Amino acid sequence: MKTTVIIPNYNGKKFLINCLNSATKSTVSASILVVDNGSTDGSKEWLAEKYPQAGVIAFDKNRGFCEAVNAGIEAAKTPYVFLLNNDTTIASDCIEKLENAMEQDNRIFSVGAKMLSMQRPELVDSAGDLYSAFGWAYAIGKEKPESRYQKRRKVFSNCAGAALYRKEYLEKTGLFDTAHFAYLEDVDIGYRARIAGYVNIVEPAAVVLHAGSGFSGSRYNEFKITHSSRNNVYLIWKNMPLFQIILNMPFLLAGFFIKYLFFWKKGFGGVYARGLLEGLRLSASGTGRERKVHFAWKNLRNYCKIQLELWVNLFRRI
């Protein structure tokens, strides 16, 4: 057994049956661990009755995505951990395909699955992430035909809703940053891996269906916009050395302004602006200063490669 499937859950009882049914039908053996974030919908009791073979870590309250998956990672006894959203259904050979891809290169930090829309499985939900000098993270292939994405490729980072990570490397880079609570935490950990010289790839043969906001809520809401804008600022502060922030400042300011106009038209301009201010406060806080990735000359080549990618991704969204 090489992989532990870690499923964070918060009031997701209605999704868990499909998720767990598919995970238990994997073509390779895998341990399953559900981390419950203080659910009040009977999830824990249902798990105990219907899936006693699944391990459960239960929090007394919602501690956020990062604390949940970190608890699962720390409890895992396998070399790989597969982080999986509760509103997903995986193909029977998904884990096998991810493991095979991981073993192609010992530099690989994470392997992402090709996530398809559960409502329209002919369309991509995510095939990895790009990140640009605008400070924008893009889900590759979002709402595009899945037939276009058939080749394994390197990506900036992977969506932690369906990605296999090498536990040994997670322990070297540090686990998911709990200061994020939710949103962009997967870009942050992928960024840290890139600074350290590791590689993130997507394996399109590993398929996952994802319900996402089509079932679980609005694509734009105050909680999501506040946390994503806050974490966007923190992500930049945390991972970019000062000289890189200065180099990218014109692009970053343009990116923030364009995003502000976008959310202002949707009636969330004030929410977005408050999120940016919260991001500045977090970056300046003791936590922000403590968790900043400090520049090391040995990683200069990796910083240069990342910077070139940030510039290229200004003109690329595929």
- 48: nearest Cα among 87, 1, 89, 13: 13
pLDDT of 160-212, one tens digit each? 999 999 999 999 999 999 999 889 999 999 999 999 999 999 999 999 999 97
Position 198 scores a pLDDT of 98
* Burial of residue 243, with CB atoms counted within 10 A of its CB: 0-12 exposed, 13-18 middle, 19 or more buried: exposed
Q: Are strands 108-117 and 124-126 parallel, antiparallel or unpaired?
A: antiparallel
- pLDDT over 90 percentage in the chain: 94
Kind and range of the H or E run holding 137? strand 137-139
Res. 316 pLDDT band, cuts 50 70 90:
confident
Query: CA–CA separation, 153 vs 204, rounded Å?
Result: 9
Phi (first) and psi of residue 304, to 5 degrees: -65, -40
Give the Cα separation of 314 and 312 in Å (integer).
5
Residue 213's pLDDT is what?
57
- The pTM of the whole model exceeds 0.75: yes
| Structure confidence at residue 318 as a pLDDT band (50, 70, 90) | low
